[in-house]
Amino acid sequence: MFESITSKLSTVLKKIAGIGIITEKNIEDAIKEIRLSLLEADVNYKVVKHFTEKVKEKAIGTEVIKSINANQQFIKIMHDELVNFLGGDYSYINITKKPVIIMLVGLQGCGKTTTAAKLANYLKSEYKFNKILLVGADVYRPAAREQLKKLATHINADFYTEQHNDVIKIVKNSLLKTENEFYEAVIFDTAGRLHIDNEMLEELKKIKSLTSFSEILLVADSMIGQISVDVAKSFNEALGITGIILTKTDGDARGGAALSMKFITSVPIKFIGTGEKIEKFEKFYPDRMASRILGMGDIVSLVEKASKTISLEQAKKTEEKLKKASFNLEDFLEQLNSIKNMGPIGELIKMMPGASNLHNLNFDEKELKHIEAIILSMTPKERHHPEIIDTSRRQRIAKGSGTSPEKVNKLLKQFNQMKKMMKQIGKKKFGAFPGFPIPGF
């Protein structure tokens, strides 16, 4: 369901990634586009305002613009802020106190009954709970209790209800049953209403007062759009909800509104429902969601790795050398080592956005070792002035590096081409990866 927000934001990011030199104006333009994309994706306007202000403040107020890999840093700021607004780290279900007592609340049709079963199933697999009680506390919809009973049987959990309309009595009795029969967890499925109304909230408050709940979770249909924020606010003010479960994220709604709930209420989104089946239930990971929304593959860890391995100073030095065309084979070797320190090249390439399209990508690590051996077999003078390398020197270098004169030739040729290319680029502007003066990077 997050396709539209993803495609919009990733377009903006791609633009940024393609810009050589980032200026304040570039950033302002990008932020304007981001603002529009978020609004179009149904993200709550307050969230949009806060988010874009934060990104701007960080991007313009800091050293980002001056730094050499400004575009990547900007993308990282976007990602980090998005993680912030989706929620940082938190626990999922509070299981410190046994029995674990959970109540599910939410509007009609949002997926409470289905989610009760999904959650029970999750507790079984995640925490190895064996004894779970599902309680039918929706006395209003005719077949509600029957629906939950069926689901309970399906997942091998116990079910309890009573055939009358006194919800409070049902809850009290099921709490007694939970204690007496040593259940590890009890989950209450409550009734939904079409709109939030006071009567409904009063009833839920009464239920809340009967015991100390481990979790009161708001089940929210991610398709309902902007009102989801009001729904979350009302439920939270009345009950103090401990988490949100977003259902129907497999649908085609724009999703931005649902994602705004955390920011507005400060209540974390803990799980998402991704389909009708019991297994279609996942923990919500803010960082993964942020990466997904930005369509970034794993660009953030790539950027982090790059900035750790290649210092800005080093990159600047390289830039200067390239501009002056004084870049020599020794610098080239230094660059190679920086790349090698980042890990296996194949792994790095896999992390780059869009790498999934590169099916036939075969990066030969051996080739890098050869290049390294060849350069190391040269004298410092040769490394600085490769033009002095004649046939006999070539043969000596080949011998010393365990390669062949052809290989030495090839490297020298490639290096010359690269230098030429870099000289041209250096005159105009820098590409997205100024730290990588190797063709193809």
Ligand X SMILES: Nc1nc2c(ncn2[C@@H]2O[C@H](COP(=O)(O)OP(=O)(O)OP(=O)(O)O)[C@@H](O)[C@H]2O)c(=O)[nH]1
Binding site for ligand X (CB under 6 A): 106, 108-114, 138, 141, 144, 192, 247-248, 250, 273-276, 280
State the binding partner of 114 from Mg ion, ligand X, none, CB within 5 to 8 A by kind: ligand X
- Minimum gap (Å) between residue 112 Cβ and Mg ion: 5
State the binding partner of 185 from Mg ion, ligand X, none, CB within 5 to 8 A by kind: none
- Minimum gap (Å) between residue 182 Cβ and Mg ion: 27
- Minimum gap (Å) between residue 195 Cβ and ligand X: 12
State the binding partner of 248 from Mg ion, ligand X, none, CB within 5 to 8 A by kind: ligand X
**CB-nearest residue to ligand X:** 273
- Minimum gap (Å) between residue 81 Cβ and ligand X: 27
Residue with Cβ nearer Mg ion (77 or 104): 104
Q: Where on the chain is the footprint of Mg ion (CB under 5 A)?
A: 112-113, 144
State the binding partner of 52 from ligand X, Mg ion, none, CB within 5 to 8 A by kind: none
Residues in the chain: 441
Residue with Cβ nearer ligand X (54 or 141): 141
State the binding partner of 275 from Mg ion, ligand X, none, CB within 5 to 8 A by kind: ligand X
- Minimum gap (Å) between residue 110 Cβ and ligand X: 4
Report whether 258 contacts 228 (CB < 8 A): yes
User: Taking the mean position of all CA atoms in its chain, how far away is CA 428?
Assistant: 35
- Minimum gap (Å) between residue 151 Cβ and ligand X: 9
Residue with Cβ nearer ligand X (113 or 338): 113
State the binding partner of 331 from Mg ion, ligand X, none, CB within 5 to 8 A by kind: none
Residue with Cβ nearer ligand X (202 or 304): 202
Residue with Cβ nearer Mg ion (76 or 112): 112
**CB-nearest residue to Mg ion:** 113
Residue with Cβ nearer ligand X (138 or 331): 138
- Minimum gap (Å) between residue 201 Cβ and ligand X: 15
Residue with Cβ nearer ligand X (106 or 437): 106
